[in-house]
A and B are shown apart, each in its own frame.
Chain A
């Protein structure tokens, strides 16, 4: 029988532990259990057979760690081939009459993915793809991806499986005592991502016993619309008389698992410490249980690598600030590849309280495909909010969705045939909540009826692609009332109909409504309130607008969506804070401000430095502020650091305060002035080394002193550094390494620089380096700390201009 068919109407029994049984048979610590498929096939076959005999419908091949990181290609093929043969032999030998399936077992790669580790996402996909292809070649019935403790790696494995076979795929994760995966994902987040990508079943295994996994399982049952898997350990391990024992026996194990089967778990088995006896007990205890039907939950949901955001009664805020449209500084940041600026927009919006971030980096002059992919990855290393991938470039959309860790919101598809045909397959493959615009080849209908008709057609076509209604959210298009004074009314009326008649969630780009009018916030926030009352589920909006945020909090309070008005009350504390002008005494003259700025920088007050600079810049030329205020303040702190009266944290606090002052100055000068001399410094941590705190500190201080610093990041190959130095004709390169093992990489980089970019001086630093080391590997300068790097850079640039 087909596994999917069997899963539909039955409780499915998986097998139990393998590793613990092999240890009993003599597997040594450090020895690969997968090799036993070849060395002791009879042992493996007997274990599989014992599980089939005990009642298992599915045995998992002994291939948990069978991947091309641990084994070379030939060995890998031999292992997987023999593992499958052993399982098949066991199936033939077992005489019990039940449905028997063989699952290709895929465990974690043993590496952590970037940005936390060093394995690239696509490399991870390739690693799993090799294993999947071999499994398909030698014939399995389904694929089980199990014990995954990271959502990103889970996605890589699942994508590899989906791209290389049509077999059923079931996925089980290892949750910790805190009810989350090791890298932070909740059960809700995993359900969102896995169901979005179309798994046949999902659940939890390993790490804990059935008692400790209970709350995770209950949560999965509450959210999942596919069968839930439970494959726990035999309780918790402990040492007893020199033996590992697990703290619950077969009887207690099966009793607790049975309780959860009665609540709806449909796929059961055991992990570490469980034996055929446990499965037998489980089988006999549950054989009379009727399988609980799996009910569709119809949840409209997106997720990040930590949590899920569910659309419901309470409005969802989608921050619109990561978008170059109409923003000069943002455009410039994109052109300069100034990722820090973009990331700060993400973090600031999160602090303002948005639930999702819209990400749009489309500009005519930049490569949107690589920019969007890069931005999504970078954002996911600093903010844990779900993202809305906002692009009309289909290649960029696919690349971003592929790399996204979670279930993304996608902006957008519309009623045009071409749009539906290109976007919907991506939604199906990668999962996602798709924003559908109610327009088609004939443009945007003026009437609500016309827009609803387009929405109906989109739903129909999407269902042909297998995309459910819950994964489509309609944008009935807000248009400016300055062009047509009835336009807001049609938008609101179509909103109402879509929500009520079609039962779909809705979204709007609020601020379009006020285009061309003065004091747009007033119009926007009132329109926002009207839209919410007419069924708006989510808004793409500006969270820095106090009016918009007030509307959001008051709406929730008035509609009974804010228990005890507590969110309103805590937000209201900030309502009364007005502009910066009021917080600084207005009668102060420029002189007082200037000493105040020095003082703020020296003390390391970030916000205050920016505020004072804002005042100062109205009356003082920018260069005077820099040369007479900021630089002297930095010099005082810098000298203090060199004389050991100031320590590193204080130095950095001052540097950050100076940076915030510089940012104010930069914003006021944007585009006006460009330095003529080339004061570019290329900085990087060399290949093989992932430590970057030292490099970041040096970078910050160099920027403080006015150098243009191009930061290539960490673990950077020599070729990339040299290429950048040549491209920018940089007079100075700064290289960092923390470990003795990466000093050779630094030496290699220096050699290549000396060969290809003779004009470039090289300064090196990092914990393992010393003057002798630096001399040995041919560096021009060893800097013992960040200040020394600054002094050297000043010297180099001075010599150059003279």
Chain B
């Protein structure tokens, strides 16, 4: 099977202040912080781009090895997540370099703004992924399981290499990978989504990071 890689640009998804505050680790926000968050949103909102590239891959699972034909990865949790699917969507998404520029800038000038921009960037990229997944759900008439990225649970970061080889996001959406498997722009996501209907891992209780600040029940 030949995989076809498509690219898409999205309009800005609506901002969610509550999520931004959560990512900024702020639980008792006051007017002061709110005003700062809004100021930061205004400073960045016209500078972001919302780009995704993706393809459909076949999947065969044997003994926790997920075989995508052109490459395979070993991960018990991903295998569980993709169980029952014959196909999977592999995607890469980014909100571009401007968010990194501004984080670098305020890293030198105002750590609090740098923190807020980090939080905004995280909220933005997650919102973009949500918008993309909503499109896929519509297109395939299916409810999707949790998207699954390298670095989650037992799926090593080094699998980014295979993902980048397939999607070539460098030339499609300007997303690059360094030698330690870190992506630039930093506010970017790569992930698998199984086209298997809901086969969900619980976001929190199935994760091993027990000291996570965002851990729910």
Which A residues contact B (CB, under 8 angstroms)? 23, 28-30, 107-108, 110-112, 115-118, 147, 149-150, 174, 176-178, 182-184, 206, 237-239, 242-244, 339-340, 343-344, 347, 378, 381-383, 603-604, 645-650, 652-653, 655-656, 688-690, 692-693, 696-697, 700, 739, 741-742, 770
Contact = CB atoms under 8 A, between A and B. Distances in A.
Given A649-B33, A690-B184, A696-B114, 16 more contacts: A28-B70, A30-B70, A30-B162, A108-B171, A116-B101, A147-B171, A183-B174, A184-B98, A244-B4, A244-B5, A603-B32, A647-B27, A648-B26, A649-B24, A697-B115, A739-B180
B108 interface: yes
A112 B211 contact: no
Contacts of A183: 97, 174
Contacts of B178: 111, 117-118, 690
Interface in B176-217: 176, 178-182, 184-186, 211
Interface string B44-82: 000001000001000000000000001100000000000
B19 interface: no
A740 to B, nearest CB: 8
24 contacts: A23-B2, A28-B70, A116-B104, A147-B171, A150-B174, A177-B9, A184-B98, A238-B6, A242-B4, A244-B5, A340-B108, A347-B105, A378-B108, A647-B25, A648-B25, A648-B26, A649-B25, A650-B26, A650-B30, A655-B112, A689-B182, A693-B115, A739-B157, A770-B211
Contacts of A603: 32
A650 B107 contact: no
A338 to B, nearest CB: 11
Contacts of B32: 603-604, 650, 653
B182 A739 contact: yes
A693 B104 CA distance: 9
Interface of B: 2-7, 9, 24-30, 32-33, 36, 49, 55, 70-71, 96-98, 100-101, 103-105, 107-112, 114-116, 118, 157, 162, 165-166, 170-171, 174, 176, 178-182, 184-186, 211
Contact of B101 (A108, A381, A689, A739): A381
Contacts of B98: 184
B100 A116 contact: yes
Nearest to A695: B107
Contacts of A110: 170, 176
A696 B184 contact: no
A693 B170 contact: no
Given A29-B165, A178-B49, A648-B115, A118 B70 contact: no
Q: Which of A23, A118, A645, A649 has the most CB of B within 10 A?
A: A649
A149 B162 CA distance: 23
Q: Which of B30, B55, B108 has the most CB of A within 10 A?
A: B108
A221 B22 CA distance: 48
Given A29-B55, A696-B114, A697-B115, A645 B26 contact: no
B9 A116 contact: no
A29 B114 contact: no
A604 B35 CA distance: 12
A739 B179 CA distance: 13
A696 B36 CA distance: 19
Nearest to A697: B111
A700 B111 contact: yes
A652 B112 contact: yes
Given A116-B97, A340-B109, A693 B28 contact: no
Contacts of A176: 9, 49
A693 B36 contact: no
Given A648-B26, A656-B110, A688-B180, A29 B3 contact: yes
A147 B174 CA distance: 11
A770 B29 CA distance: 28
A689 B111 contact: no
Contact of A696 (B101, B111, B179): B111
Contact of B179 (A23, A118, A206, A339): A118
Given A30-B162, A603-B32, A112 B49 contact: no
B105 A381 contact: yes
A383 B97 CA distance: 14
A184 B96 CA distance: 10
Given A243-B4, A652-B115, A29 B70 contact: yes
Nearest to B71: A30
B25 to A, nearest CB: 5
Contacts of B174: 149-150, 182-183
Contact of B115 (A112, A115, A378, A649): A649
A117 B184 contact: yes
Contacts of A242: 2, 4
Contacts of B4: 239, 242-244
B111 A647 contact: no
A647 B30 CA distance: 11
A603 B33 CA distance: 10
A184 B97 contact: yes
Contacts of B49: 176, 178, 182
Nearest to A64: B171
A741 B157 contact: yes
B172 to A, nearest CB: 9
A32 to B, nearest CB: 9
Given A29-B3, A649-B115, A653-B36, A693 B96 contact: no
B55 to A, nearest CB: 7
Given A29-B166, A382-B105, A649-B33, A239 B110 contact: no
B108 A648 contact: no
A108 B170 contact: yes
Given A30-B166, A650-B26, A344 B171 contact: no
A656 B112 contact: yes
A339 B109 CA distance: 10
Given A29-B3, A108-B170, A118-B179, A339 B184 contact: no
B184 A382 contact: no
Nearest to A181: B174
A690 B178 CA distance: 10
Contacts of B9: 176-177
B112 A653 contact: yes
A435 B170 CA distance: 39
Contact of A182 (B28, B30, B97, B166): B97
Contact of A649 (B7, B112, B165, B180): B112
B107 A112 contact: no
A347 B115 CA distance: 19
Contact of A116 (B118, B157, B184): B184
Given A118-B179, A382-B109, A693 B114 contact: yes
Contacts of A243: 4
Contacts of A378: 108
Contacts of B6: 237-239, 244
B103 A382 contact: no
A339 B110 contact: no
Contact of B116 (A29, A646, A649): A649
Contacts of B186: 690
Contacts of A739: 157, 180, 182
B180 A344 contact: no
Given A118-B184, A242-B4, A650 B33 contact: yes
A250 B30 CA distance: 59
B177 to A, nearest CB: 8
A149 B116 CA distance: 28
Nearest to A114: B184
Given A29-B55, A347-B109, A382 B104 contact: yes
Contacts of B104: 115-116, 381-382
A404 to B, nearest CB: 17
Contacts of A696: 107, 111, 114
Contacts of A182: 49, 96-97, 174
Closest 3 CB pairs of A and B: A652-B112, A182-B174, A30-B165
Nearest to A646: B28
A237 B33 contact: no
Contacts of B112: 604, 649, 652-653, 655-656
